[in-house]
Amino acid sequence: MEVTDEVLVDLHRRMVRIRHFEEAAGRLAEESRLPGFLHLYVGEEAVAAGVCAALTDEDQISSTHRGHGHLVAKGGDFNRMMAELMAKETGYCKGRGGSMHICDLDLGMLGANGIVGGGVPIAVGAGFANKYKGNGAVSVVFFGDGASNIGAFHEAANMAAALHLPVVFVCENNEYGEYTPRDQTMAITDVVDRAVGYGMPGVIVDGMDAVAVFEAASEAVARARAGDGPSFVEAKTYRFYNHHGVQVLGMKYRSDEELAEWRTRDPIDLLEARLAAAGVLDADGAAAVHAEVAAAIEAAIAFAEQSPDPDPSELFNDVYTIAGGGA
């Protein structure tokens, strides 16, 4: 797709929405207002935004344990997302899934996943369904550098290639799996080197540059839509917060300098500079977007807090689909 001014503005808005949602979630977690684990996407916004801007509502994505950003980028509703993180009845999963299982099937977001690599075969299955139906839709797999070491990823990537499915593999290479650096867990620097082993084309893109991600993703999606099979996009990125929670400085596994270095390339700052330079959106315009999104977040928090907890009887529902009573 062409990088029009509308696209630039759209990319900016998607990133700002992710950033504010994640910052708010982090704050709430610090205040112990969110139960369970929390894996924040701050710093990696350009990847989800750039990829999802290249998709239609009919296209599907499968996500990871770090899934809020993907859902927001795909059009997720703040209220239902925040309510899910707070385990409320009004949440996307009625409070049963939480951060690690958040999803919106209507938007084609097939779910975050608590199992590293667990979502990869599922997205490939959705891709098979798209080919089967000939509906022209594409499915995208988001996965991390660490996830590229697990068997399910390998099997599913090869399956997509063998069956020539309309799937795009997007590796979010943030250089770490939890607290272990990439060079401890693989002997390669670029995860995309694995694409050749599946017979897929692959590219490396600057994961802090939303426009670059958008262009690479658009190309891969176009190829898949055209029936030319799966491809692989590796986005070099970095998470600004800890593996889970928000703590950042004084970590043993990565230096404050490394973090500071990456922070100078904040994907939102980079795009806002470009928008200003191109005269598409000036500082005030950007600030207006932030303000609007911030207000929506506050509203979502209020919505979530006012929402009721699930009724205890909900514990027993939806284990099975009851014939007649639909999904």
Partner 1 sequence: MAATETETRTLAYGAAFNEALRQMMREDESIFVAGEDVGAAGGVFGAFVGLQDEFGPMRSVDTPISEQAIVGLGIGAAVAGLRPVVDLMFMDFILVAMDQIANQAAKLKYMFGGKATLPLTITTSGGAGLSAAAQHSQSLEAMLCHVPGLKVVMPGTPYDAKGLMVACLRDDNPTVFVKNKRLLGKKGPVPEELYEVPIGVANVVRPGDAVTVVSYGRMVDESLKAADRLAGEGVECEVIDLRTVQPLDIDTVVASARRTNRIVVVHEAVRFGGLGAEIAAQVQEEAFDYLDAPVGRVAAPFTPVPFSPVLEAEYVPNAGRIATGIRQTLGLAEPPG
Ligand X SMILES: Cc1ncc(C[n+]2csc(CCOP(=O)(O)OP(=O)(O)O)c2C)c(N)n1
Instruction: Pick one of a second copy, Mg ion, partner 1, none as the site partner of residue 307 (Cβ within 5 to 8 A by kind).
Output: none
**Which residue in the set 59, 104, 145, 215 belongs to the binding site for Mg ion (CB under 5 A)?**
145
Core vs surface per residue 217-239: b (16+ CB within 10 A) or e? bbbbbebbeeeebbbbbbbbbbb
- On whether the CB atoms of residues 301 and 28 are closer than 8 A, the answer is yes
- On whether the CB atoms of residues 104 and 92 are closer than 8 A, the answer is yes
Q: Does 149 bind partner 1 (CB under 8 A)?
A: yes
Q: Does 186 bind a second copy (CB under 8 A)?
A: yes
Q: Interaction with ligand X in 240-259: which residues (CB under 6 A)? A: 243
**Which residue in the set 187, 249, 277, 319 belongs to the binding site for a second copy (CB under 8 A)?**
187
Written as one letter, the residue type at 29 is: A
**Which residue in the set 64, 174, 237, 307 belongs to the binding site for Mg ion (CB under 5 A)?**
174
Counting residues that bind partner 1 (by CB under 8 A) gives 76
The nearer residue to ligand X, 116 or 275, going by C-beta atoms, is 116
Dig out the tokens for 200 from the structure: 């897929």
Residues in a beta bridge with 28? none
Task: List the strands of the sheet with 231-236, edge to edge.
Answer: 60-62, 139-144, 167-173, 231-236, 202-206
**Which residue in the set 47, 60, 217, 233 belongs to the binding site for partner 1 (CB under 8 A)?**
60
The nearer residue to partner 1, 257 or 320, going by C-beta atoms, is 320
- On whether the CB atoms of residues 154 and 76 are closer than 8 A, the answer is no
Q: Interaction with ligand X in 213-242: which residues (CB under 6 A)? A: none
Instruction: Pick one of a second copy, Mg ion, ligand X, none as the site partner of residue 116 (Cβ within 5 to 8 A by kind).
Output: ligand X
Stretch that binds ligand X, among 47-55, 102-110, 160-168, 175-183 (CB under 6 A): 175-183
Within a 10 A sphere around the Cβ of 57, how many other Cβ atoms? 11
Stretch that binds ligand X, among 170-178, 249-257, 275-283, 300-308 (CB under 6 A): 170-178
Residue where the block lists tokens 């009919």: 58
Q: Does 186 bind partner 1 (CB under 8 A)?
A: yes
- Calculate the alpha carbon distances from 268 to 13, 23, 47, 50, 275 in Å: 9, 14, 11, 12, 10
**Which residue in the set 10, 23, 89, 193 belongs to the binding site for a second copy (CB under 8 A)?**
193
- What is the C-alpha separation between 66 and 46, in angstroms, rounded? 14
Stretch that binds Mg ion, among 57-65, 75-83, 169-177, 249-257 (CB under 5 A): 169-177
**Which residue in the set 67, 177, 230, 310 belongs to the binding site for ligand X (CB under 6 A)?**
177
Q: Interaction with ligand X in 128-157: which residues (CB under 6 A)? A: 144-147
- What is the C-alpha separation between 97 and 144, in angstroms, rounded? 21
**Which residue in the set 14, 17, 19, 65 belongs to the binding site for ligand X (CB under 6 A)?**
65
Q: Does 184 bind a second copy (CB under 8 A)?
A: yes
Core vs surface per residue 259-285: b (16+ CB within 10 A) or e? beebeebbbbebbbebbeeeebbeeee
Q: Interaction with ligand X in 105-124: which residues (CB under 6 A)? A: 114-116
Q: Does 203 bind a second copy (CB under 8 A)?
A: no
**How many CA within 13 A on the CB side of residue 92?**
29
Dig out the tokens for 165 from the structure: 């499915």
Q: Does 226 bind a second copy (CB under 8 A)?
A: no
Q: How far is the CB of 271 from partner 1 (least distance, A)?
A: 31
- What is the C-alpha separation between 285 and 120, in angstroms, rounded? 38
Q: By CB under 6 A, name the binding residues for ligand X.
A: 65-66, 114-116, 144-147, 172, 174, 176-178, 243
Q: By CB under 8 A, name the binding residues for a second copy.
A: 149-155, 158, 161-162, 164, 184-188, 193-200, 229
